[in-house]
Amino acid sequence: MATSTQNKKTVIITGANGLVGQKLVEQGSKNDQLHIIATGRGTSRLHQSEGNFIYESVDVTQSEELAQLFATYSPDFIIHSASMTDVDRCEINRDLCYEQNINATERILSECVRHDTHLVFISTDFVFDGKQGPYGEDDIPNPLNYYGWTKFETEKTIQESDIAWTIIRTNLVYGVGYDLTRSNIVLWVKNGLEMGKELTLVDDQIRTPTLAEDLASGCLLVVEKNATGIFNISGKDLLTPYDMGILTAEFFGLNKNQIIRTDSSHFNQVAQRPIRTGLLIEKAQKILGFEPKSFEEGIAIVSKQFNLAKEKF
């Protein structure tokens, strides 16, 4: 394992400007056992006041930039959260998806081999076909869409490597981040109902929605415990999008009658979605001590963070 700075574990975080990346940096930089190097494309969207970290502008699709990053910091761990995750966009622009999801990770993997770095790779429940969910770590993947295929192909490449590795599969991540263009189901439902809109949500897709803070916590538990292998890190509640909408409406005291129940056959999406996924988290609970929030608790956290963000920014 690489030598840590000041007896701390040096941890590189890719995709630090994204939702999960922001939570990883926020939590990791407050841990006095970790030396956090946050990376992302372009300028930082992070706030230095959140904790102690260094930000480096790095494009993970560029081998030279990655080589320089690893040579400078010789990390003990890299948590690779940077990814192209828009499922329909991945289906349409497969070359770009392949470059960002497969080629970029293979470049990172090469540097991990060179520097004896433990790779923590964030994957997805979309590696499964949704016929027999919820899924455990040992269930056999069979992705239905191109996004899920790129993640599964990358998982296989990582597992065939000689480095220390951890694959974290997660599911329908939601939360509040700074300066992000993509919304999440909680705020989408809240805002839509407040504007008097009717919202159509499916009741035949099953997920275990994951608070971004919980996913970050699970990743950092892997670092803390030097855990290897595959772990499911997700929420604990098995819900449909319709269920999530109703729970959100109830929390904010909004009109549930504006939420229209439907099924997937009424949506014409580019990429096929698995119907029943969701993830079983008993392994992470037992080995890592991972304990996620309930969806209702997650709604309350998102609401508080949204209000604080409005006041702060």
Domain ranges of the chain: 5-175+210-235+279-293
Tallying the residues shown for the chain, one arrives at: 313
Pick from 25-39, 106-120, 176-190: least confident = 176-190
pLDDT digits (tens, 9 = 90+) for 116-130: 999 999 999 999 999
Residue 312: pLDDT over 60: no
pLDDT tens for residues 152-202? Answer: 999 999 999 999 999 999 999 999 988 776 678 998 999 999 999 999 999
The predicted pLDDT at position 3 comes to 44
Q: What is the pLDDT of residues 237-256, one digit of tens each?
A: 999 999 999 999 999 999 99
Average pLDDT score over the chain: 94
| Tokens encoding 226 | 């030097």
Predicted confidence at residue 4, as pLDDT, reads: 46
CATH entry, 5-175+210-235+279-293, from 2.40.30.110, 3.90.950.20, 3.10.20.30, 3.40.50.720: 3.40.50.720
CB-based contacts of 79, cutoff 8 Å, min separation 6: 11, 12, 13, 14, 24, 120, 122, 219, 223
The pLDDT > 90 percentage for the chain reads: 87
Report the predicted TM-score, pTM, of the whole model to 2 decimal places: 0.95
The Cα angle at residue 275 between residues 256 and 303, in degrees rounded to 5: 40
pLDDT number for residue 178: 83
Taking the CA atoms of 269, 272, 278 and 279 in sequence, report the sign of the dihedral they define: negative
DSSP assignment string, 227-248: --EEEE---S--B-HHHHHHHH
- Mean pLDDT value across residues 285-301: 97
Nearest CA to 231 out of 219, 241, 240 is that of 219
The pLDDT-based confidence of 50 (bands split at 50, 70, 90) is low
What pLDDT was estimated at residue 306? Answer: 83
- Integer Rg of the chain from CA: 19
